[in-house]
Chains A and B, each alone.
Chain A
Amino acid sequence: MPVAFTVNGKPVEVDVEPRTTLADCLRYTLRLTGTHIGCEHGVCGACSVIVDGAAVRSCLMLAVQAEGSSVVTVEGLSREDGLTPLQAAFRKHHALQCGFCTPGMLTTVHALLSEEPDADETGIRSVLAGNLCRCTGYIPIIEAVLEARAAYRKDNKV
């Protein structure tokens, strides 16, 4: 089944089986393996990507549902050299260890701070409750997000 949408600003056209999830389409059809698949049923948040500005679980969305949408993955939130302020804050606060949940954390946080650059700790914790991390214990992640807010306040864009 043909599907057309944009990924990280670039238009793509893929031919997928109707049952293909957006996560599998990104990873295996488009070879964007930064998006990780953990639980495959919407619990762990590792596969979170941004679809039309909202953080969604790409394992719970079919690729065909992305028709006409704008999809942003961790690759689209990254620069060729160096780190964005959000990524740099994660590195500084040791908000990652094995890195498996990290892309989902970054997309979720990016969607949050793009809309609410003044999100308080309670709000951040509530949003990140949907993303599991088995390494960090979450506290460094919260610290990184609190620090990254400044970058979103200035120009509302990272």
Chain B
Amino acid sequence: MTSVNRYIGAPIERVEDLRFLRGRGEYVADLAREGMLHAAILRSPIAHGRIRTIDLKPALAIRGVHAVITAAEIGAVPRIPLRLQTSPATEPFRQPAIAGDRVRYVGEPIALVLANTAAIAEDGVEVIALDIEELPVVADRHISARDETLLFEEAGGNLATKFTAIRGDADAAFREAEYTRRARFSVQRHTALPPGAARIARRMGCRNRAPDGHGGCESAVL
């Protein structure tokens, strides 16, 4: 039995367009509730540092500011889960939802100001007196591997775990290859290959599923 598909190949009008096109969408910032407070976040201006002192009093003194929340007020700060936690060894490196006495990236939340309006909350963020001692920045894995600067001291080092993956017989493939070449590739995004590596992967017979080489090729090359 066959049925006629009304969707494939047909222009489908989206129901949500009627509100989006007439300014009637309801985004989070559009919500208004009785007694609703607005939050503004004080964020770290530096990549790595230790918070010496933080004075919230000037913010709390502003009329319309209800509260300023820091890690100290929260106590046990939740750690942000990893989307793919492959090993319990990464557990000590999970980042806190809000910085304690240490900041580890530019933009890390340090304090949350709650106020009657967004403008007052932003005023509160501006007057918080923050004194941060700058620490050496760990900008890549090579610096990290030296263990000179520990991001999570309680972990005892920057190395969480080591993964080893083997696929096929790479030694044999290199031995039998007409042409071999040694090169080092560097990429921050581990969902994609740099273009040079992707080209080589294709030469090695990998079939890319996506133009960026996302998928099996990556492990083959590595």
Contact = CB atoms under 8 A, between A and B. Distances in A.
Chain B CB within 10 A, most for which of A27, A73, A102: A102
Contact of B119 (A24, A36, A79, A103): A24
B29 A34 contact: no
A28 B117 contact: yes
B21 A106 contact: yes
B23 A32 contact: yes
A34 B119 contact: no
Interface stretch (A54-62, A88-96, A112-120): A88-96
B34 interface: no
Nearest to A81: B18
Contacts of A103: 23
Interface residues of B, number: 21
B11 A92 contact: yes
Given A83-B18, A91-B17, A92-B11, 13 more contacts: A24-B118, A34-B22, A36-B29, A75-B22, A78-B21, A78-B22, A90-B17, A90-B21, A96-B20, A99-B25, A102-B20, A103-B23, A106-B21
Contacts of A87: 21-22
For chain A, what secondary structure do more than half of its interface residues adopt (helix, strand, loop), or is it mixed?
Answer: loop
How many A residues are at the interface, by size bracket?
Answer: 20 to 34
User: Chain B interface mostly helix, strand, loop or mixed?
Assistant: loop
A19 interface: yes
B29 A102 contact: no
B16 interface: yes
A100 to B, nearest CB: 7
Interface of A: 17, 19-20, 24, 27-28, 31-37, 73-75, 78-79, 83, 87, 90-92, 94, 96, 98-100, 102-103, 106
B29 A37 contact: yes
29 contacts: A17-B119, A24-B119, A27-B29, A28-B117, A28-B118, A33-B27, A33-B29, A33-B30, A34-B25, A36-B29, A37-B29, A74-B22, A75-B23, A78-B23, A83-B21, A83-B22, A90-B21, A91-B13, A91-B14, A91-B17, A91-B21, A92-B13, A94-B14, A96-B17, A98-B20, A99-B16, A99-B17, A102-B20, A102-B21
Nearest to B26: A33
Interface in B1-58: 11, 13-14, 16-27, 29-30, 32
